[in-house]
Amino acid sequence: MSNDTQLEELVSRGYQHGFVTDIESDSLPPGLDEDVVRAISRIKGEPSFLTEWRLKAYRHWLTMHEPTWAHVRVQPIDYQAISYYSAPKQKTDGPKSLDEVDPKLLETYAKLGVPLHERARLAGVAVDAVFDSVSVATTFKDRLHKAGVVFCPFSEAIHSHPELLERYLGTVIPHTDNFYACLNSAVFSDGSFVYIPKGVRCPMELSTYFRINAAKTGQFERTLIIADEGSHVSYLEGCTAPMRDENQLHAAVVELIAEHDAQIKYSTVQNWYPGDENGVGGIYNFVTKRGDCRGRNSRISWTQVETGSAITWKYPSCVLRGDNSVGEFYSVALANHCQQADTGTKMIHIGANTRSTIVSKGISAGRGQNTYRGLVKILPTAHGARNFTQCDSLLMGARCGAHTFPNVEVRNPTATVEHEASTSRISEDQLFYCLQRGISQEDAVNMIVNGFCKSVFKELPMEFAVEAQNLLAVSLEGAVG
Amino acid sequence: MIVPAPVLPTTRDENWKHAPLRGIERLRWAPPTALTQEARLAATALLGDDPPQGAISTRIVLIDGLHCPDLARGPVGGDAAGVGPGVAFHATDAPAQPGAATVSIDLAFAGLNRHHRQGELRIRVPDGETLELEVVCIALSCGHPALRIDLGARATLRLFERHIGATGSLANLALSVQLGHGARLEHARLLQPADGARHFETLEAVVGADAQHRMIQVTSGAAATRSTALVALEGAGADLGWHTAVLGAGTQTHDAYVRVTHDAPAVRTEQGFRGIAADRSRIAFNGHMRVTARAPGAHSAQTLRGLTAGAAAEIDLRPQLEIDIDDVRASHGATIGKLDADMLFYLLSRGLDPATADSLLKWAFIADVIARLSDPAWRSRFEDALAPLLPGAHAARSLT
């Protein structure tokens, strides 16, 4: 197949992960009260400290209100109409290996291109697949175990490593943090848990694939990654959902902890169903992600490509507590049709000689609204702190919007902070050059957009970079001309 | 008087989070009802050795928001201000209810002004005419000065505005500007209230087609200043230049919010900010650029720079862009840092003492704003006002 044909196929296809898997599932009835919170905890067989923690979060959530400061229009969410737990029906004992996993589930992940079977070995990526509320399969466990790495579903870690959970859970994002994180703390059902012991470099990329399948449910997963002293891990995250006319809520929490000399690289390609071109349906993606560089010389790097979701509300952040610690945020956010994205980062400099870099690329097309919202805060203890922020927006169409709301707060005279931003449409000169070289307008736009995002794509692991470029091309379909 | 609480913003209001708002509801907001001889004498002392050579020949003085003809200067006419038929002080007949006309929390202090003001200085320049004017607002206890500027088609106004205040005084200014087709406003503002004074101000401007608004503002002194400016570029080809410098010292707080709405084709904005925070002072600047779908071909450029010069000083910058159309060129840059060590070393190596070298570099930092004043006499007055704050920098004056 020629490159042109491939590209044409790519551009002409719509949201390709919108199918529904017909699979039996166990669900709690819609509604939320203390009994539902207790029921989730009971299903998971959680220790009492965790049940109490959930209940404390739920009671606090009742006192909170949805945030209204973001530059998005959200249809009212009926929290009592959501089912807070849905899991594929399992045999009594649960699957011991991939061979025991429901073939329909494996088929679903095959359709999504997630390597759960033999392709996983070729890809060299360990995968944890989360389907609705539970983890259905985790690969390469033995090999990781030999290296001392713990990579398992959150519900398994509750039993295998309760001491780590009790020590670290909620220490980066407390249940009081914000409305959606508080809701997640009360009703989270599963997610991934990663612990990298001292001095270990994780032998492979770790990956979690999140899938919402059941209707009228929300997904509330929780991820906790702990990199102990001198360790290193690279973690990838992907997500999809079926095409439905209803809006579904995804309110996740991700906590990262990097001790002395540890490094965590967290990459996301977010492709939740964005709704149709009239803004009907799509996922409300309200996620809280934060990394805590607790140790000296630690480093946390967030890279995200946000092409999906009807509404994205997400600010992966770094608390740079340890001296010489480094925080990075690289982001591409695309809002096409009626999508709305309010995303950005916070870099809180507390330790001496801490450094942070923010590179954000926003693309708005159709009637999409894209907002960068950022905070760089240098506290009095952060001697010699440095930040560089670059924040560019590209507009494609007269009805889209690009908004930039950075906040810079400096309370130390030895700090240096630089922020630059630009907003423009695709250069007519660039477009004309491509057209007169025989390149079609749509291909030319894709090339220019990819060039615009290059500084972020180069931070992604290679497989994800290719996927991200393809996703952008698909997501921009119909935005030109 | 106790001000009704709902009228006043709090630090939880997004655009007010840096302003010093503690206890403002307990301040004495009611102005004096009439000017006393004592007040005239105190105001004369604050004015100092005015006028400098080459200064504007026409001056109007407001004391605590009340017109003081005794301190006015210039041609004697038949109107209240003694300047010309277009300039007059109109006493207020009935005060507005507090907050009655407030449509957003950013206009809360404008609402208070409307309630308390005792008059309004109206400056109207007819089509095609030119006027040069100095307005001095003196705060002795509490005042709510109000200015309304209305320029006709192709009219020009060169306005030099000074604000001075006694220790402990409170000023709450409301300024509204309307520029007609092709009008030009050159607006120089020098805000230097005494230590311990509080200065609040709300500026609303509407710029018509092909009109130009040039604003140069320098702020120093006072315990706290809060400036809210809402500018609408409503005519095609409207052009705004907005350059501000702030020098903070001691425990002062200076907070500014400028929102520019680009609402017509081919409008332009250039905004610059320079802030130097010394000692334990705090400076905040929020520059909010909005470009609506009605503004194809809009161009907006923002450059915000802060210099932290005190161990416990703080600078907060918020350059914001809100854009709803693709045919636009918008950029912003914001930097915060300390004095450049290489530059400092160079000056020291040329034999300058550390204090002078420090002052020279700070002078250079804000010179970018002052140098935009086209009139050398106005520039000189700004430099005179700033010289005591940057001792030893006089050598650099001739360079700006």
pLDDT, tens digit (0-9, with 9 covering 90-100), for B33-44: 888 899 999 998
A419 and B335: CB-CB below 8 Å? yes
For the CA atoms of B265, B266, B267, B272, the dihedral, rounded to the nearest 10 degrees, stands at 140
In angstroms, what separates the C-alpha of A249 from chain B's closest C-alpha? 27
State the average pLDDT over residues B227-241: 97
pLDDT of residue B131: 92
Mutate to test the interface with B, among A410, A426, A445 (most CBs of B within 10 A): A410
- As a whole number of Å, the end-to-end CA separation of chain A is 26
Helix, strand or coil for residue A307? coil
From the centroid of its chain, how far is CA B34? Answer: 26
The per-residue pLDDT for range B328-354, each reduced to its tens digit, is 999 999 999 999 999 999 999 999 999
For A215-219, B85-89, B99-103, B216-220, which range has the lowest pLDDT when averaged over its residues? Answer: B99-103
In order of B138, B192, B224, B385, the CA distances from B221 in angstroms are 14, 5, 8, 11
Instruction: Look up residue B323 and give its two tokens.
Output: 């854009």
Q: What value, to the nearest 5°, has the Cα angle with vertex A311 and ends A305 and A314?
A: 55
Percent of chain A with pLDDT over 90: 53
Higher pLDDT, B367 or A463: B367
State the average pLDDT over residues A203-218: 78
pLDDT of residue B370: 93
Pairing verdict, β A416-425 and A386-396: parallel
B318 and A407: CB-CB below 8 Å? yes
For chain B, how are helix, strand and coil distributed in percent, rounded to 5? 20, 45, 35
Pairing verdict, β A401-410 and B314-323: antiparallel
- As a whole number of Å, the end-to-end CA separation of chain B is 47
B316 shares contact with chain A (CB less than 8 Å): yes
Residues 31..70 of B with a Cβ closer than 8 Å to A: which?
Answer: none
Judged against a pLDDT cut of 70, whether residue B31 lies above it is answered with: yes
DSSP β-bridge partners for residue B201: B173, B227
**Pairwise CA distance, residues B231 & B260, whole Å:** 5
The conformation of residue B107, written as its DSSP 8-state character, comes to G
Residue in A with minimal Cα distance to B321: A404
pLDDT of residue A62: 97
Complex prediction ipTM: 0.87
pLDDT of residue A223: 94
A413 and B308: CB-CB below 8 Å? yes
B317 and A408: CB-CB below 8 Å? yes
Q: Mean pLDDT: which of A8-17, B92-101, B168-177, B379-388 is highest?
A: B168-177
pTM score over 0.90: no
pLDDT of residue A278: 86
Instruction: Look up residue B309 and give its two tokens.
Output: 């010069």
Mutate to test the interface with A, among B11, B12, B280, B321 (most CBs of A within 10 A): B321
Mutate to test the interface with B, among A347, A388, A404 (most CBs of B within 10 A): A404
The per-residue pLDDT for range A218-250, each reduced to its tens digit, is 889 999 999 999 999 999 888 766 666 677 899
In angstroms, what separates the C-alpha of A272 from chain B's closest C-alpha? 25
Mean pLDDT of chain A: 85
pLDDT of residue A9: 47
At residue A102 the predicted structure's pLDDT band, cuts being 50, 70 and 90, is low
Q: Helix (H) and strand (E) counts for chain A? A: 13, 23
Helix, strand or coil for residue B69? helix
At residue A204 the predicted structure's pLDDT band, cuts being 50, 70 and 90, is confident
pLDDT of residue B34: 85
B340 shares contact with chain A (CB less than 8 Å): no
From the centroid of its chain, how far is CA A194? Answer: 16
Short-list A396, A443, A445, A447, CA closest to A424: A396
pLDDT of residue A99: 61
Instruction: Look up residue B115 and give its two tokens.
Output: 């309630």
In order of A357, B270, B302, B320, B388, the CA distances from A419 in angstroms are 10, 17, 11, 11, 32
Judged against a pLDDT cut of 90, whether residue B204 lies above it is answered with: yes
Half-sphere exposure for A472 (CA within 13 Å, toward CB): 30
Residue in A with minimal Cα distance to B319: A406
Short-list A346, A354, A241, A253, CA closest to A297: A354
A402, B291 in Cβ contact below 8 A?
no
State the average pLDDT over residues B5-13: 70
**Pairwise CA distance, residues A139 & A126, whole Å:** 5
B334 and A419: CB-CB below 8 Å? yes
State the average pLDDT over residues A376-388: 97
B275 neighbourhood in chain A, CB within 8 Å? none
Q: At B341, phi and psi to the nearest 5?
A: -65, -35
Which is it for the CA torsion B291, B295, B297, B302, positive or negative? Answer: negative
What residue type is A342 in one-letter code?
A: D
Pairing verdict, β A247-250 and A134-138: unpaired
For A91-100, B91-100, B126-135, which range has the lowest pLDDT when averaged over its residues? Answer: A91-100
**Residue A478 burial (C-beta neighbours within 10 Å; 0-12, 13-18, 19+):** middle
Domains of chain B: which residue ranges? Answer: 2-338, 340-400
For A278-282, A315-319, B156-160, which range has the lowest pLDDT when averaged over its residues? Answer: A278-282
B337 and A417: CB-CB below 8 Å? yes
**Residue A3 burial (C-beta neighbours within 10 Å; 0-12, 13-18, 19+):** exposed
pLDDT of residue A477: 67
B339 shares contact with chain A (CB less than 8 Å): no
A355-372 b/e with 16+ CB inside 10 Å = b? bbbbbbbbbbbbbbbbbb
The per-residue pLDDT for range A38-84, each reduced to its tens digit, is 999 999 899 999 999 999 999 999 999 999 989 999 989 999 999 89
Instruction: Look up residue A63 and give its two tokens.
Output: 């006192």
The conformation of residue A72, written as its DSSP 8-state character, comes to -
**Pairwise CA distance, residues A52 & B159, whole Å:** 67
State the average pLDDT over residues A15-27: 61
Higher pLDDT, A443 or B240: B240
Inter-helix orientation angle A3-12/A441-452, to 10°:
80
Short-list A376, A290, A307, CA closest to A341: A307
At residue A275 the predicted structure's pLDDT band, cuts being 50, 70 and 90, is confident
B334 and A417: CB-CB below 8 Å? yes
In angstroms, what separates the C-alpha of B19 from chain A's closest C-alpha? 14
In angstroms, what separates the C-alpha of B115 from chain A's closest C-alpha? 30
Judged against a pLDDT cut of 70, whether residue A94 lies above it is answered with: no
Judged against a pLDDT cut of 50, whether residue B2 lies above it is answered with: no
Judged against a pLDDT cut of 90, whether residue B75 lies above it is answered with: no
At residue A116 the predicted structure's pLDDT band, cuts being 50, 70 and 90, is low
pLDDT of residue A114: 54
Tell me which H or E stretch contains A36. helix A34-43
Helix, strand or coil for residue B18? coil
Chain A contact residues (CB < 8 Å to B): 69, 71, 364, 380, 393, 395-425
pLDDT of residue A390: 94
Pairing verdict, β A282-293 and A311-314: parallel
For the CA atoms of B151, B152, B154, B158, the dihedral, rounded to the nearest 10 degrees, stands at -20
Higher pLDDT, A272 or A327: A327
Higher pLDDT, A219 or B103: A219
Phi-psi category of residue A148: left, alpha or beta, with phi > 0 → left and psi -120 to 50 → alpha = left
Instruction: Look up residue B18 and give its two tokens.
Output: 């840096």
B326 and A425: CB-CB below 8 Å? yes
Mean pLDDT of chain B: 88
Which is it for the CA torsion A241, A243, A244, A249, positive or negative? Answer: positive
Mutate to test the interface with B, among A417, A423, A449 (most CBs of B within 10 A): A423
Instruction: Look up residue A319 and give its two tokens.
Output: 């608390």
* Cis upstream peptide for B20 (omega within 30°): no
* Residue in B313, B329, B334 nearest the CB of A424: B329
Judged against a pLDDT cut of 60, whether residue A98 lies above it is answered with: no
pLDDT of residue B279: 94
pLDDT of residue A396: 87
Higher pLDDT, A286 or A111: A286
